[in-house]
Amino acid sequence: MKKAFVIGSLLVVLTLSLGGSVASKSTDGSATYEQLKLFTEVLSIVQNQYVDEVPPKDLIYSAIKGTLRGLDAHSSFLDPDSYKEMQVETTGSFGGLGIEITLRDDILTVVSPIEGTPAYRAGLQTGDRIVKIDGLVTKDMQLPDAVKRMRGKPGSKVTITVVREGWTEPKDFEITREQIRVQSVRSHDLGGGIAYVKLRQFQEQSPGDMGAALEKASKAGMKALLLDLRNNPGGLLTAAVEVTEEFIDDGKLVVYTEGRVRNQNMRFSAHAKKSYPTLPMVVLVNQGSASASEIVAGALQDWGRAIVVGTQTFGKGSVQTIIPLSDGSGLRLTTAKYFTPKGRSIHGKGITPDIIVEIPKETTAAVRERPASLDPMEELKKDVQVQRALDVIKTMRIIEQQRPGQNPQAQVRPQ
């Protein structure tokens, strides 16, 4: 059976071949069978006596959805159409709004709008709660259903009703759908040997794109790196591992997972062909940094490889396994939690930066209103968190010059 490990929300998939049964040895088969008799009894009554005739498949699908809804916010059932859509999401091209969503406290919540997409330009923000989609209340709506309703033909419109902290009433956002093509890596030379790399999402091509950006920067004389993971909602677990191993020594642990079933207990260590294990670096994060972003930031923080600057991350630290079913549908089931190298569970907590730097709300609004043609370098110069990160890098480089052979990150890390 093929399965897929997922560590973010609905944009996140990794296909792996795993053997073995997923059934727990401790399951009481007889007790389960007795309860199934009750289920079939109810199913028969509904089929025969409910006021309207309901197709058997619809009844079964609804029953499965109800079962998974009672487990946690991230387990869900994918009908055949949703399962097919999910399989193409990690390619970096899909139709929709460009927004990553999750369920937080059973409320449909924005993890992060993807930079440059319709959702981002419309002004949706991390933490926004989506209470309606085209007038339909989202209470009790599962993630796949919500995603399906927000997807559509490019050029068509959808209205999202949002509740935001500080607002007295909900607000409608009418957004025109587009074909979303996410460029996973963007890089700039900040001068003085400092390279800037922004990673927007962890897709299949991200490690290769990151490697190419680092190679180009290295040839240009890179002496320090600013890695920007802000508003990166996550992605593939393998991509997170491959990005992290660019910066730590061979064999060091990046992340491990623990679940109830033995084959969910996995360890991922660094085995990069080429790496930069001593390169002074700062990692930028914020509330929109989730899942795979938290794996990278957490590992680099645990190993003392980078100073983490910004604000508290989202806190998505559970692993979902995508299991294909016989009729073309799929099961998205929480099967494990992931931990940083030092054993920290990020789920519900997030990563706390070494240096906390808030961005004023008026600055965030101004950034969204700037024209798309604005020079990216000008944007970085006006970015409070970027400028603080540059100050940290400069301090690290001074320490490196004064005390050769010592880890500059460790010297400037707040105690």
**Rg of the chain's alpha carbons, rounded to an integer?**
23
- Is 177 in the same domain as 210? no
Residues 6 or more apart in contact with residue 15 via CB below 8 angstroms: 2, 3, 4, 322
pLDDT, tens digit, 9 for 90 and up, residues 360-378: 776 555 444 444 444 678 8
Please name the helix (run of DSSP H) or strand (run of DSSP E) that holds residue 380, with its range, or none: helix 376-381
Residue that finishes a domain, picked among 155, 181, 207: 181
| 166/198 same-domain check | no
pLDDT at 158: 95
φ and ψ at residue 277, rounded to 5 degrees: -70, -10
If you average pLDDT over residues 126-134, what whole number do you get? 94
**Shared-domain flag, residues 364 and 238:** yes
Instruction: Transcribe 324-364 into DSSP letters.
Output: E-TTS-EEEEEEEEEE-TT--B-TTT-PPPSEE----HHHH
Tokens matching residue 41: 């009894």
Residue numbers annotated as active site: 291, 302, 316
Position 412 scores a pLDDT of 59
Across 137-146, 171-180, 247-256, 381-390, least confident range? 137-146
Same domain for 129 and 220? no
In which residue are the tokens 């790496």 written?
A: 275
Question: Which CATH number does the domain housing residue 130 bear?
Answer: 2.30.42.10
Q: Indicate whether 176 and 194 sit together in one domain.
A: no
Q: What CA–CA distance (Å, rounded) separates 241 from 251?
A: 12
Residue 337's DSSP bridge partners are 258, 318
Q: Which residues pair with 171 in a beta bridge?
A: 162
Residues 283 and 352 reside in one and the same domain: yes
* pLDDT, tens digit, 9 for 90 and up, residues 392-402: 999 988 887 77
Mean pLDDT of 326-349: 93
Question: Is residue 269 scored above 50 in pLDDT?
Answer: yes
**For residue 206, is it within any domain?**
yes
Give residue 30's pLDDT. Answer: 74
CATH number of the domain where residue 243 is located = 3.90.226.10
- If asked whether residues 151 and 242 sit together in one domain, one would say no
Report, as an integer, the average pLDDT of 142-146: 83
* Residue-level pLDDT at 321: 83
Extract the tokens encoding 288: 């929109």
Do 311 and 390 belong to one domain? yes
Closest CA to 2 of 22, 16, 13: 16
- Rounded distance between C-alpha atoms, residue 125 and residue 326, angstroms: 38
Give a yes or no: residue 27 inside a domain.
no
**Residues 41-54 pLDDT 10s:** 998 999 999 999 99
Q: Which of 156, 181, 206 is the last residue of a domain?
A: 181
In whole angstroms, what is the distance from residue 296 CA to residue 304 CA? 12
Q: Which residues of 198-234 are buried (b: 16+ CB within 10 A; e: fewer)?
A: bbbbbbbbbbebbbebbeebeeeebebbbbbbbbbbb
User: Looking at the domain assignment, is residue 294 inside a domain?
Assistant: yes
Q: Where a domain ends, among 157, 181, 205?
A: 181
**Does residue 283 sit in the same domain as residue 191?**
yes
From its phi and psi, is residue 97 left (phi > 0), alpha (psi between -120 and 50) or beta?
alpha
- Provide the domain count of the chain: 2
